[in-house]
A and B are shown apart, each in its own frame.
Chain A
Amino acid sequence: MKFPPFEFHRPGDLPEAVDLLLSYDGEALPLAGGQSLLPMMAFRLVAPKALIDLSAIPGLDGIELNGDSLRLGALVRWCDVLCSPVIANAHPLLVEAVRHVAHYQVRNRGTLGGSLAHADAAAEFPAICLVSDAMIDVVGRDGKRCIAARDFLLGAMETDLREGELVAAVRFPIWPAGRLWHFREFARRSGDFALAGVAMYCDPDRQAGVCRNWHIACFGLGEVAQRVDAVEAFLEAKPADTAHIREAVLIAQRHLVADGDIHAPAGYRKALATELLGRGLNEVFKAVAGGDG
């Protein structure tokens, strides 16, 4: 469980980091919090020729609220998210999701950019990016690109990042007041990767007793977090009652894709995800009825 040999660089800015990465012809890897990469190296599952440590690049750990978006730098750590008053208001769903990421020690080091680039099927953050229609800013040989989360996440540990490209930041659309949201996951033990989870939000029309603009994603059950567009469309402006929840769950059952592994078979994961979806909808509907945003 010791690392294989590697070279180590700590560039001072993004262009230098990109150049270093390119100079190794695909055999170097960026290092952020190291909470996923270093265990894989200790297991000798990966053996990069060089590590390009991003920690000395200034400006990558910013948390900024601009006119139309919340911008989080790639080096923002889970613990930064949890103690940021800005994010608490600007994206409460994200904060709740991050509470479920790993353990205290890991949250002190793990970063948003690392989580996105690593793209674990059961990771919370990619699911939050997907459900929130986040934009991912990447920097590479040819300068900047902005990629929608939906297009960025391609599969289990597979993203749209090209050789030499780095995640620089993630931008979330502004979060309106009164929005209802819910996050729920199920893991074997606290801190474990979830066997399945669900994140959702919608904007209530309290007068009409309905919700619009549904965004729902399930994660942990398949290769990559999944938006359930069919359920979103179905729920649009539907009255908040149990019959509609039941129907929504059935639709989700038809659309979600699940895989099995040693921890749980596909059938269980799918059943779990739809169960969590039903419970989540129930909570949201209760909030619509109760009027507590």
Chain B
Amino acid sequence: MTKANTYVGSSMPRVEDQRLLTGKGEFIDDVQLPGMLNAAVFRSSMAHAIVRRIDTSEARALPGVVAVLSAADLPRPIPRIPIRIAPIEGAERFLQPVIAEGCVRYVGEPLAIVLAESQELAEDALDRIEVDFEPLDPVSGIGDARRNATLLHPEAGTNLVADYQVTRGDPAMADDAALYRRTESFRIQRHTAVPMETRGLVAQWDAGQGRLTVRGAAKVPFFIRNHLARMLGLAQEMVELIELDVGGGFGVRGEFYPEDFLVPFASRAVGRPVKWIEDRREHFMATAHSREMECSLEIACTSEGRIIALRGEIAADLGAYVSPTGPIVPSRAAQFLAGPYHVPVLDLHVVAALSSRTPVGSYRGPGRFEAAFFRERLMDMAARDLGIAPDEFRRMNLIAASDLPYSIGQLVPYEGPASYDTGDYRAVFDRCLEDFGWAERRKLDGREVAGRLHGLGLACVIDSSGAGPGEHACLYLQQDGNVRVHVGSSALGQGIETTFTQIVADELGLHPERIRICHGSTSLLDEGHGSFHSRSLIMGGNAIVVAARALRDAIRNAAAARFGCTGDEIRLQDGRACKAEGQSTAFADLAPLEGRGSFGGAEKPFGYGTHVAHVAVDVGTGHVEIVDYLAVEDAGRIVNPAIVRGQKIGAIVQGLGGALLEHLVYDDEAQLRTASLADYMLPTAADFPQLDAVTLALAPTPRNPLGVKGAGEDAIAGPGAAVANAVAAALSRYGVEPKELPLDPPRIWALLAAAAARACR
């Protein structure tokens, strides 16, 4: 193709936006089917209890209630929700049944599902269900779990899901008595994604055809389809999962939850379509939590500040059951603990424990947010001890461009060794500091301006992307000259319809309006692996590249046959196949043609970058204001800069929520105390007005044809670390060292009070 690519690399307006901004998107609650019932899930009010009896008779007697199904109405054995990723050995002992049977293990665990003629009636019926509970002691957190005094799954004999060691380098090297060392303990609070649209499903059983249709799928529709079909005893092709528009995913939407079985099962049981929409209160107890983790970490370095070793322990709370993605959280935290630095010795004990809380799953940047906080905080403390500036300390320890690719060893038990691919970590670091005006601003560190103390904090992050099985794409050139693209990726608001269109437009020399991306149904392709781990562009995008090139060749060959030349002589431009001397034909005249392609199996690319936060702390109120924030990152190659910038800024704001606001609070009875948006603090438009993200296309990866690295997640890793470091810098005169998030006003106040008490001693 001689024509230069013009769409990839441009901020083409999102093709999704016309539909969404004019109110023509279709979300799950927009779906209305004739005869449709509404479902409400009856959930456990107890954290841990034996279920002696469930009495649904009064609920059933309510006019308008069609059915109330509990464990007794399900086939035996009750299906259990499978692990999808990070299959840690032994985790299969702790899988969640699709409905609680005999025992409940967290507040919010489903015990029954009510089907009624309206949502109101379904909820009225919930109030009439009686359960006879015999309370058991809850397991309240990691320490409690490790004591194994109360067992959540007695048949397993332990509350520990995983307990393993990962190492690299020669541990003896770290024992050198001449090394500087410091050990600290850190903690990240339980918090989660909270997409604006809660989960929801509409299941429709067609008894005549023996066919089930489920709308509301997201993220991994094929995986859900395969397991749902198995659990219901149906052939895969008799189950169709359909994606609609969604109001956010962030890792929590679209995994296999109990409702993904219960709602379709209920539809088949009563022979009518069933709609279930999670309400916000349910969402807080029924959709995966994440991030709760403790870390005790030792750093060892030379007196000049070269890091020799990081050693310690990571312990994560996985909640009451191992969710489809649960083990990813601690295992990735361990894998990314060393970050983009050269750390010769790594020796980490990894523990994953159960508790009487909502199961934990993947949330944007799982383990990365946590790892960055632990590491970057400890690095700042070490740098201060050694009298080295925090920027110097990092620059010295960042992996040099000449050392890439850099082998990080085998740091997760379920994958082979990995290596960082391309980049220039120090160049991006320097660019960030320069753009931010670090040298000048740093003069403010610890200084009081208008009654508030200012501070600057740094964090360097790295993230893998594009995990999982390969993806497939089919491109169909239709009779009208348009190209239809079927791909196994799913849309979660990240704009793949746009970026995929850009790719096809350039590969085929076709106007974007002639391209339609179809990803919404398990019937479009034989298999697909969906969207997670920032993989859609890497897997789906590259599969589309391969398929588009196949279609391009097919078009050229067809045109060549027509013009009596070879395929090489054909150029594709503006929807026409052109031969050199002015002969050309429209694509439409060559239709139908198709191109198929797959991509997968290669090593993962690693995006990386530097974050810097400037905060002002009001010592009197404990308020931390983000005065300014900048992230500079390298995505390898950028298909749509506006979309990437949106992803980065969104990720930073979400990360700032985790740093300063968000906290899922449980009390001693393991009751969730933050089950509304009044009590669970999300960032609002007014909170962080001043931030920016610069994404470079500095070092394309050789690990996929497009050269791209994932851009959806890595930016969430920085804010917890950068903000905490900035707060420490601001409060350095008091010797305050935050070791726990969120840095909410009462915590700042408590840190200052403790510092004052220390000063008095």
Residues of A within 8 A of B (CB): 1-5, 43-44, 186, 188-193, 195, 262-265, 267-268, 271-272, 275-276, 279
Contact B746 A268 (CB under 8 A): yes
A-B contact pairs, 30 of them (CB 8 A): A1-B280, A1-B281, A2-B120, A3-B120, A4-B123, A4-B124, A4-B127, A44-B123, A44-B127, A186-B623, A188-B661, A188-B744, A189-B684, A189-B686, A189-B687, A190-B686, A190-B687, A191-B686, A192-B678, A193-B678, A262-B673, A264-B745, A268-B745, A268-B746, A268-B750, A271-B749, A272-B620, A272-B621, A275-B621, A279-B620
Q: How far is the CA of A268 from the CA of B750 in the complex (A)?
A: 8
Contact B749 A268 (CB under 8 A): yes
Contact of B279 with A by CB under 8 A: yes
Q: How far is the CA of A43 from the CA of B683 in the complex (A)?
A: 23
Q: Known: A2-B119, A4-B124, A262-B673. Is A189-B681 also a contact (CB below 8 A)? A: yes
Indicate which residue in B281, B622, B686, B753 contacts A43 across the interface (CB closer than 8 Å).
Answer: B281
Identify the closest chain A residue to B752 (Cβ): A271
Query: How many B residues touch A, CB cutoff 8 Å?
Result: 30
Identify the closest chain A residue to B123 (Cβ): A2
Q: How far is the CA of A189 from the CA of B624 in the complex (A)?
A: 11
Please name all residues of chain B whose beta carbon is closer than 8 Å to the beta carbon of A191 when the two chains form the complex.
684, 686
Most chain A beta carbons < 10 A, residue from B279, B686, B749: B749
Nearest-neighbour CB distance to chain B for A272, whole angstroms, equals 6
Contact of B6 with A by CB under 8 A: no
**Ranked 3 nearest A-B pairs via Cβ:** A1-B279, A275-B620, A268-B746
Identify the closest chain A residue to B676 (Cβ): A43
Please name all residues of chain B whose beta carbon is closer than 8 Å to the beta carbon of A264 when the two chains form the complex.
745-746
- Bits for B650-685, please: 1 = Cβ < 8 Å to A, else 0: 000000000001000100000001101011010110
Contact A268 B684 (CB under 8 A): no
Nearest-neighbour CB distance to chain B for A256, whole angstroms, equals 16
Q: How far is the CA of A275 from the CA of B622 in the complex (A)?
A: 11
Contact A265 B620 (CB under 8 A): no
Indicate which residue in B123, B124, B661, B679 contacts A189 across the interface (CB closer than 8 Å).
Answer: B661
Q: How far is the CA of A262 from the CA of B678 in the complex (A)?
A: 12
Given known contacts A189-B681, A265-B746, what 10 new A-B pairs fall within 8 Å (CB)? A1-B123, A2-B119, A2-B123, A186-B623, A267-B753, A268-B750, A271-B749, A272-B621, A272-B749, A279-B620
Q: How far is the CA of A1 from the CA of B620 in the complex (A)?
A: 39
Nearest-neighbour CB distance to chain B for A179, whole angstroms, equals 26
Identify the closest chain B residue to A271 (Cβ): B749
Q: How far is the CA of A276 from the CA of B120 in the complex (A)?
A: 45
Q: How far is the CA of A146 from the CA of B681 in the complex (A)?
A: 39
Please name all residues of chain B whose beta carbon is closer than 8 Å to the beta carbon of A268 when the two chains form the complex.
622, 745-746, 749-750
Please name all residues of chain A whose beta carbon is closer than 8 Å to the beta carbon of B661 when the two chains form the complex.
188-189
Q: How far is the CA of A186 from the CA of B745 in the complex (A)?
A: 10
Q: How far is the CA of A20 from the CA of B674 in the complex (A)?
A: 36
Please name all residues of chain B whose beta carbon is closer than 8 Å to the beta carbon of A272 when the two chains form the complex.
620-622, 745, 749
Nearest-neighbour CB distance to chain A for B122, whole angstroms, equals 8
Identify the closest chain A residue to B120 (Cβ): A2
Identify the closest chain B residue to A275 (Cβ): B620
Q: How far is the CA of A267 from the CA of B744 in the complex (A)?
A: 15
Please name all residues of chain A whose beta carbon is closer than 8 Å to the beta carbon of B683 when the two chains form the complex.
189
Please name all residues of chain B whose beta carbon is closer than 8 Å to the beta carbon of A188 when the two chains form the complex.
661, 681, 744-745
- Bits for B729-760, please: 1 = Cβ < 8 Å to A, else 0: 00000000000000011100110010000000
Q: How far is the CA of A186 from the CA of B623 in the complex (A)?
A: 9
Contact B679 A262 (CB under 8 A): yes
Q: How far is the CA of A263 from the CA of B744 in the complex (A)?
A: 9
Identify the closest chain A residue to B674 (Cβ): A262
Nearest-neighbour CB distance to chain A for B362, whole angstroms, equals 26
Identify the closest chain B residue to A265 (Cβ): B746
Please name all residues of chain B whose beta carbon is closer than 8 Å to the beta carbon of A195 when the two chains form the complex.
745
Please name all residues of chain B whose beta carbon is closer than 8 Å to the beta carbon of A271 when the two chains form the complex.
749
Nearest-neighbour CB distance to chain A for B575, whole angstroms, equals 48
Identify the closest chain B residue to A274 (Cβ): B620
Please name all residues of chain A whose beta carbon is closer than 8 Å to the beta carbon of B681 when the two chains form the complex.
188-189, 192
Please name all residues of chain A whose beta carbon is closer than 8 Å to the beta carbon of B124 when the two chains form the complex.
4-5
Identify the closest chain A residue to B119 (Cβ): A2
Identify the closest chain A residue to B683 (Cβ): A189
Please name all residues of chain A whose beta carbon is closer than 8 Å to the beta carbon of B620 when the two chains form the complex.
272, 275, 279
- Bits for B186-213, please: 1 = Cβ < 8 Å to A, else 0: 0000000000000000000000000000
Q: How far is the CA of A272 from the CA of B621 in the complex (A)?
A: 6
Q: How far is the CA of A189 from the CA of B679 in the complex (A)?
A: 12
Please name all residues of chain B whose beta carbon is closer than 8 Å to the beta carbon of A4 when the two chains form the complex.
123-124, 127
**Which chain B residues numbered 673 to 718 have a C-beta less than 8 Å away from chain A?**
673-674, 676, 678-679, 681, 683-684, 686-687
Please name all residues of chain B whose beta carbon is closer than 8 Å to the beta carbon of A193 when the two chains form the complex.
678
Q: How far is the CA of A272 from the CA of B744 in the complex (A)?
A: 13
Please name all residues of chain A whose beta carbon is closer than 8 Å to the beta carbon of B686 when the two chains form the complex.
189-191
Nearest-neighbour CB distance to chain B for A234, whole angstroms, equals 21
Nearest-neighbour CB distance to chain B for A174, whole angstroms, equals 34
